[in-house]
Amino acid sequence: MKIKQYLSERVQAAMVAAGIPAEHGPHVALSNKPQFGDYQANGVLGAAKALKTNPRELATKVLAELDLADIAEKTEIAGPGFINIFLSKEWLVQQAQASFQDPRLGVAKAEQVQTCVVDYSSPNLAKEMHVGHLRSSIIGDAIVRALEFQGHKVIRQNHMGDWGTQFGMLIAHLEDTMAGGSIDGTALADLETFYREAKKRFDDEEAFATKARDYVVKLQGGDERCTELWQQFIEISVQHSEEVYDKLNVTLEREHIKPESAYNEQLPKVIASLQDQGLAVEDQGAQVVFLEEMADKEGNPMPVIVQKSGGGYLYATTDLAAIQYRSQELDADRCLYFIDARQSLHMQQVFTIGKKAGFATDKVSLEHHPFGTMMGEDGKPFKTRAGGTVKLAELLEESVSRATELLSKRETDLTAEQQAEVARKVGIGAVKFADLSKNRTSDYIFNWKTMLSFEGATAPYLQYAYTRVQSIFDKAGIQASDLENNVQVIEEQEKALLTKLAQFEDTLETVTREAYPHMLCAYLYEVASGFMSFYEACPILKDDVDSVTKNSRLVIAYNAQQTLKTGLELLGIETMDKM
Ligand code: ARG
């Protein structure tokens, strides 16, 4: 249940009943100290200030109108006029029982279903996916999964970069490596090397460079031979990406690819429309939109080129066409873009033009959710020892082999095959969790040691907590379906864990609203550590535990386990019964 929303409505109603105008919000937030209860409503303070009355007196009036008997065991006034709210055990028990055997864990589906178009991963196909693509792929995928879980309509858009002048050089080189008219698979096995070779020839060989330029023109003109070569190159590059998505457990499929080239036909219309509306004007042969909205300090409007002097289109032009397609044809309520923070200015420009030109509908919310860079230990962008870009596929392989090493130190009765499967889930999970758990807006330092540890907020720790619950059930020879849906709260740790579990829906609300997977990571870590403290304080399988208590604690443990599983699934991280 949405606790914050529920409390907010109730406090707001009490405030109105106490004579406070409705424009003063209740400001309900989680309390930061247990002695202040579970939630605090701070809105009375601001209202008292505006109404020039004594805040404590006003809070007393509000409290007199506030009936939270169904959810809270205590409400009190604290400090200058805060209202502290303590959730009741009875209510927590109700929530726990409602979650048990509910695959949605008590999380309701969105009342207002939104169409969310999510642009993520979107690699350039000229090269292989490298670590720079990790963040967009996994942050975007986590948000997509969470939105879908909430019941929103999600449309994934993999805006792959499959167009541009590099492709002239690539297909010219591809043609030269072909034997007997068909593609030599090995030449493209390593796209990075292939790109480097093509680039070197382009720089060194006059004739090759000429041919490459000629192929760009031909490709743009729809030449059959060039188009065919380009398609073959793209196909192989897409397959490379798909392998990475598979490894990464990212839900992007073929049908989600809407590459840059898909907008080619739209581009002249975009320019024509901008010209018709007087937004694009000619400047030194190019078509330029001047944005007063984004003027510099001297008041000079910011120029954004939408068509080059030779007639060529730009990255921005394609994004304008994409805004139009997503808002108008896909009828988006929200368009979320998961793109590196270094493209913030670009996004701001296209959003501004998109709105101004009416490519975006009035209702659509255009949102760039930027993220920082993954850094090496030296504080510089993550590179190989030799200073090259780290291929994503190789990074993931290394993580799995490090996970194998980490797990080999544990005693296990798993077969070699099962162990390999566990290592894969731990290795991939570790890289993902380490990344997703950082506030996406900042840069972060990539560190194998901290991410592949059973201590702290890591994937292995959470996966381990999951297996811990499983082992309790295994040891008891009990399944969840054997249990009575009956919960009681005796110890503080039980209450604390149930309170945490009841906040799953609230957490998801923030996660999808702000596009912040790190909030879900932090939440799941608290669930796991809450479970550990609970398990330490509340014996389950000991002989002297009575059957009602044992049953209740097993239900609580099960709810914690299912919350971990569902939460990790939303992050695209797998769990296992044993490790
Ligand atoms: N292909 C671009 C890059 O690798 C990212 C595209 C992001 N999406 C967009 N609509 N601009 O930098």
Hey, how many other C-beta atoms are within 10 angstroms of the C-beta on 153?
A: 16
In degrees and rounded to multiples of 5, residue 161 shows phi and psi of -85, 95
- Report the residue among 336, 343, 350 best suited for mutation to probe ligand 1: largest number of ligand atoms under 8 A from its CB: 343
- Residues, the chain, total? 579
Q: Is the pLDDT of residue 491 over 80?
A: yes
Task: Give percent helix, percent strand, percent coil of the chain, each to the nearest 5.
Answer: 55, 10, 30
Q: Is residue 339 in contact with ligand 1, taking CB distance under 6 Å?
A: yes
Q: Is residue 124 in contact with ligand 1, taking CB distance under 6 Å?
A: yes
Residue 523 Cα to ligand 1 middle (Å) = 30
Q: Which helix (DSSP H) or strand (DSSP E) does residue 384 occupy? A: none
What is the arithmetic mean of pLDDT over 82-98? 97
- pLDDT value, residue 429: 98
- pLDDT value, residue 178: 83
Residue 91 Cα to ligand 1 middle (Å) = 47
Sign of CA dihedral 540, 544, 545, 546: positive
Q: Is residue 251 in contact with ligand 1, taking CB distance under 6 Å?
A: no
Domains of the chain: 3-87 (3.30.1360.70), 166-252 (no CATH)
Ligand 1, residue 319: give the atom nearest the CA: 10
Reported confidence tier of residue 384, pLDDT bands at 50, 70, 90: confident
What is the arithmetic mean of pLDDT over 338-361? 98
According to DSSP, the β-strands at 153-157 and 115-119 are parallel
Reported confidence tier of residue 25, pLDDT bands at 50, 70, 90: very high
Reported confidence tier of residue 181, pLDDT bands at 50, 70, 90: confident
Short-list 91, 63, 74, CA closest to 39:
74
**53-58 long-range Cβ contacts below 8 angstroms, 24+ apart:** 55/80, 55/81, 56/80, 56/81, 58/18, 58/20
Residue 121 Cα to ligand 1 middle (Å) = 8
Q: Give Cβ neighbours of residue 46 (< 8 Å, ≥ 6 apart).
A: 24, 27
What is the arithmetic mean of pLDDT over 250-277? 98
What is the arithmetic mean of pLDDT over 380-409? 91
The pTM of this model reads 0.96
DSSP string over 61-78: HHHHH---TTTEEEEEEE
Longest CA–CA span in the chain (Å) reads 89
- pLDDT value, residue 190: 85
Residue 263 Cα to ligand 1 middle (Å) = 14
Residue located via tokens 């694009």: 280
Q: Is residue 162 in contact with ligand 1, taking CB distance under 6 Å?
A: no
Cβ-based burial of 139 (10 A; exposed 0-12, middle 13-18, buried ≥19) = buried
Q: Is the pLDDT of residue 179 over 90?
A: no
